[in-house]
Amino acid sequence: MSEPNILLNVNGIEVIYNHVILVLKGVSLTVPEGGIVALLGGNGAGKTTTLRAVSNLLAGERGAVTKGTIELRGDRIEALSPAELVKRGLIQVMEGRHCFAHLTIEENLMTGAYTRTDGKAAVQQTLDKVYAYFPRLKTRRTSQAAYTSGGEQQMCAIDRALMANPTMVLLDEPSMGLTPQIVGRCSRS
């Protein structure tokens, strides 16, 4: 059972790909409510795998958590589908942007609010907030994502996650493609 101020508790997980490739062994970490935790490590260290384990995106990669437990606010979540995890406010921004190319920037952002049930006004408020984080996106709001730059697509992917009004965001390589000024501003705010 987690302590009350622990948002995420990953306890001794093991991850195996393709039934044989052992990639994570005994990985444990906790994220406190309101806290930020960074995973650092060389290429192939297992950062992406750890995030995929938490958001239950391993199955699509023929991977599985074979030992250990993962708790969100004290509830075991290993068996929950990625969709159920999103409904609980756990949102992953995968490495490599993954915007809907044929939708505009604003349409992409609105897809992030799909699971919300707190009404249009609240969603609009969040939209204003995320545009304030990345004003560049507001100027590109009617552009098709396919025709925006790599950095703009990365901003869009991050803001789309925030549109869900999440409890927790898992960011894989969040600064990829962003200018140092924006990275610096994000890490200060």
CA distance 52 to 58: 5
Site for ligand ATP in 2-21 (CB under 6 A): 17-18, 21
**Listed ranges 26-34, 43-51, 107-115, 149-157: which one lies at the site for Mg ion (CB under 5 A):** 43-51
**Listed ranges 19-27, 41-49, 99-107, 111-119: which one lies at the site for Mg ion (CB under 5 A):** 41-49
Burial-class residue 152 by CB neighbours within 10 Å (0-12, 13-18, 19+). Answer: buried
Q: How far is the CB of 39 from ligand ATP (least distance, A)?
A: 8
Name the residue nearer to Mg ion (CB basis): 48 or 126. 48
| Eight-state DSSP code of residue 56 | T
Name the residue nearer to ligand ATP (CB basis): 48 or 104. 48
Name the residue nearer to ligand ATP (CB basis): 25 or 136. 25
User: Of 43, 142, 181, 189, which one interacts with ligand ATP (CB under 6 A)?
Assistant: 43
Site for ligand ATP in 46-85 (CB under 6 A): 46-49, 61, 63
Contact 92, 49 (CB under 8 A): no
- Provide the strand spans (E) within 62-124: 63-72, 75-76, 90-93
Instruction: Please give the backbone phi and psi of residue 113, each rounded to the nearest 5 degrees, phi first.
Output: -95, 5
Sign of CA dihedral 172, 69, 30, 16: negative
User: Of 13, 23, 48, 159, which one interacts with Mg ion (CB under 5 A)?
Assistant: 48
CA distance 154 to 165: 18
Q: How far is the CB of 58 from Mg ion (least distance, A)?
A: 13
Q: How many residues bind Mg ion (CB under 5 A)?
A: 2
First to last CA, the chain: 32
Binding site for ligand ATP (CB under 6 A): 17-18, 21, 23, 41, 43-49, 61, 63
